[in-house]
Amino acid sequence: MKNDKNIGLQLLFKMPSLLFGFFLFAVAILLALYSKLGMSPWDVFHMGVVNHSFLSLGQTSQLVGLILILLSIFLGVIPGIGSLFNMIFIGLFIDLINNTGILTTPGSLFGQILMLIAAILIMGMATYFYLRVELGAGPRDGLMEGLVIKLNKPVWLIRGSIEMTALILGFFLGGPVGVGTLLLAVAIGPSVGFAFKVGKYDSKKAQHMNLIELYLNIKGINKVTEQSQNGKILATSKNMKS
């Protein structure tokens, strides 16, 4: 029971950073949308779906996230609680903020460019705040990891193929493709890297806890995990103390 309380407190203390990161993500996505200069490949796809459905942008993000998590599980990647919250709360925050009507498209190109740059910078900060708690990456990263393991191909190829597929589908569905799409694709990496550097977060040393590991910790089971170079858990040994 004591271990349950400790794990519960740890999760509680991590929630503000996790949810703040998701809130920032929602803000960044909407800033890109209202800049009218183009959105990231996945958001181009999301908006394309919105154009042909009764779903809002936030609801579409949630539905796509759920599908990607299920695909990741099928590929052998177990999500973390942060992965599930990512799927739920980013979409929720998108709709809550959008429904306030607080964001509008600037009347000048200069203002639109500034809005897009703000989206890029905020997305980098958002990534830092939600990854630093090490409760699982987003659904799209989970799919990428699963495909890298399954197909034994380099990360850049898998990630690029996924993004390009989302972009092409979104384009044909009428999603907002523009110069901002290219800028987002090029600049998000450096923005995230800068946020990690400022926050002193080393993604190579991060050990994200998935749902199975969370369950084992709550139950008080000591485990030893061995990970291959691609990050997939190969074996888990457990010793229970009465």
Give residue-wise pLDDT tens across range 83-109.
999 999 999 999 999 999 999 999 999
Question: Does the residue 66 lie in any domain?
Answer: yes
Verdict on whether the full-model pTM lies above 0.95: no
Give residue-wise pLDDT tens across range 50-76.
999 999 999 999 999 999 999 999 998
Looking at residue 236, what is its pLDDT? 37
Give residue-wise pLDDT tens across range 151-181.
888 877 888 899 999 999 999 999 999 999 9
Q: Which of 143, 191, 171 is nearest to 41 (CA)?
A: 171
Number of domains into which the chain is organized: 1
* pLDDT beyond 80 at 237: no
Question: Does the residue 156 lie in any domain?
Answer: yes
Question: Does the residue 167 lie in any domain?
Answer: yes
Looking at residue 166, what is its pLDDT? 94
Give residue-wise pLDDT tens across range 7-49.
777 788 889 999 999 999 999 999 999 999 999 999 999 999 9
Question: Does the residue 70 lie in any domain?
Answer: yes
Q: What is the sign of the dihedral through the CA atoms of 63, 96, 15 and 208?
A: positive
Higher local confidence (pLDDT), 217 or 191: 191
Question: Does the residue 130 lie in any domain?
Answer: yes
Looking at residue 4, what is its pLDDT? 53
Question: Does the residue 6 lie in any domain?
Answer: no
Quote the CA–CA distance of 222 and 39 in Å, as a whole number.
44
Looking at residue 168, what is its pLDDT? 95
Question: Does the residue 21 lie in any domain?
Answer: yes
DSSP class of 218? H
Domain assignment of residue 62, given as a range: 15-205
Q: Report whether 105 contacts 35 (CB < 8 A).
A: yes
Question: Residue 107 burial (CB < 10 Å; 0-12/13-18/19+)?
Answer: exposed
Tokens of 62: 């949630």
Question: Does the residue 161 lie in any domain?
Answer: yes
Give residue-wise pLDDT tens across range 171-211.
999 999 999 999 998 888 888 888 988 988 887 777 888 88
> Exposed e or buried b for every residue in 35-60, given b needs 16+ CB within 10 A?
bbbbbbbbbbbbbbbbeeeebbbbbb
Quote the CA–CA distance of 59 and 26 in Å, as a whole number.
12
